[in-house]
Amino acid sequence: MTDVILGIETSCDDTAAAVVSDGRLLASVVSSQTGHQRFGGVVPELASRDHQRNIVGVVRAAIDEAQLSLSDVSAVAVTYGPGLAGSLLVGLSFAKALAASLDIPLVGVNHIEGHVYSVYIDGNGPSTPYLCLVVSGGHTLLVLVEDILSHRILGSTRDDAAGEAFDKVAKMLGLPYPGGPEIDRLAQAGNPDFHAFPRSRLDGFDFSFSGLKTSVLYYLNALGADRDDYLRNHLPDICASFQMAVVDSLMDALRRAATETDTRNIAITGGVSANSSLRAAAADFCRRQDRSLYVPKFEYCMDNAAMIAVAGLLKYRAAFASDLTLTAEPGAALL
């Protein structure tokens, strides 16, 4: 019998639903909320209201795109955390109601688990073990996936996530939210050696980006009255220099972890894995050391439900099911 998994993701500001059938992605629909841009970041109350408005249409669109009906679905996979409580609750309540009314299993998926297994969306994922750098707006983790659904966290950020650092520095530079893609775009025309922003190097494989963020703030403040003129001439250079500092810190830990754990298969996932400089550095590292690199397609780097459906399928096949008491866990850790 065919396993058809409906995945639902509403942990932040994207309302998403996807359908996978026997490991093949049949549909992926993401409705991105744009109302937050004028506030320079996600407003939790607005996000949950928008999810309420969007969820029925997004799930229906995914089922239609898959050319199936709800009665074909074997299980509903849903993000239970981490994320914004009000946002998580919309997807979770909807998924529970759907699973109960269809009398099919509910599979709770950790959002980070979704990013870790997003490399399997197109059907060409790595064999285990693989080392996965999860870099997004909310998380920066280095995870050793020893076997499917069996992972060890080697390192994580002690303060800001990498994407959060991109977004906050972009805001300082007067760029729109989300800042990562903007900095990436501007950095293409800039000189990464223009200014040497500090690189953090912690014991083990942990990361820290708050010192870097503060150093950009001090650098900009020191420009005083010349700031606007200076930015007009050197914005791409500052973006490129900042971006290189983030990429160097990420790559330093990734390189050391790959060597110490002797892992050949490397993955980078999450929103920041869309970054062109990070992709280039990871590709260069893997080419030189004869390792294999796995990066999801651009649309599956950002939050989406295809990754939740794929992780849900892996859990469903491992006979994992959640009961209807599953609750939103805004601070859920990757188990």
Query: In this structure, are residues 143 and 151 in contact, taking their beta carbons and an 8 Å threshold?
Result: yes
CB atoms within 10 A of CB 185: 13
What's the rounded Cα separation, in Å, for the pair 139 and 156? 8
Q: Closest CB to ligand KG4 among 32 and 289?
A: 32
Q: Which does 108 bind (CB under 5 to 8 A by kind): Zn ion, ligand KG4, none?
A: none
The one among 7, 126, 137, 312 contacting ligand KG4 by CB under 6 A? 137
Minimum CB distance to Zn ion, residue 141 (Å): 11
DSSP structure class, residue 70: G
Q: Closest CB to ligand KG4 among 108 and 114?
A: 114
Q: Closest CB to ligand KG4 among 105 and 312?
A: 312
Q: Closest CB to Zn ion among 28 and 136?
A: 136
The one among 86, 155, 190, 270 contacting ligand KG4 by CB under 6 A? 270
What's the rounded Cα separation, in Å, for the pair 43 and 177? 12
Q: Is 181 among the residues that bind ligand KG4 (CB under 6 A)?
A: yes
The one among 33, 79, 136, 208 contacting Zn ion by CB under 5 A? 136
Interface positions, 254-313, toward Zn ion (CB under 5 A): 303
Two structure tokens written together for 271: 């929103």
Closest CA to 209 of 195, 221, 198: 198
Query: In this structure, are residues 160 and 209 in contact, taking their beta carbons and an 8 Å threshold?
Result: yes
One-letter identity of residue 140: T
Q: Is 156 among the residues that bind ligand KG4 (CB under 6 A)?
A: no
Long-range contacts of 102-106 (CB under 8 A, 24+ apart): 102/70, 102/71, 102/73, 102/76, 104/73, 104/74, 104/75, 104/76, 105/74, 105/75, 105/76, 105/316, 105/321, 105/322, 106/75, 106/76, 106/78, 106/321, 106/322, 106/323, 106/324, 106/326
Q: Closest CB to ligand KG4 among 63 and 151?
A: 151
Select from 21-29, 70-78, 144-152, 271-279 the region that touches ligand KG4 (CB under 6 A).
271-279
Reduced to 3 states (helix: H, G, I; strand: E, B; else coil), residue 255 is helix
Q: Is 326 among the residues that bind ligand KG4 (CB under 6 A)?
A: no
Interface positions, 272-311, toward ligand KG4 (CB under 6 A): 272, 274-275, 302-303
The one among 138, 155, 192, 296 contacting ligand KG4 by CB under 6 A? 138
DSSP structure class, residue 12: S
- Kindly list the residues in this chain that would bind ligand KG4 in the complex (CB under 6 A): 12, 136-138, 163, 166-167, 178-181, 184, 270-272, 274-275, 302-303
- Kindly list the residues in this chain that would bind Zn ion in the complex (CB under 5 A): 136, 303
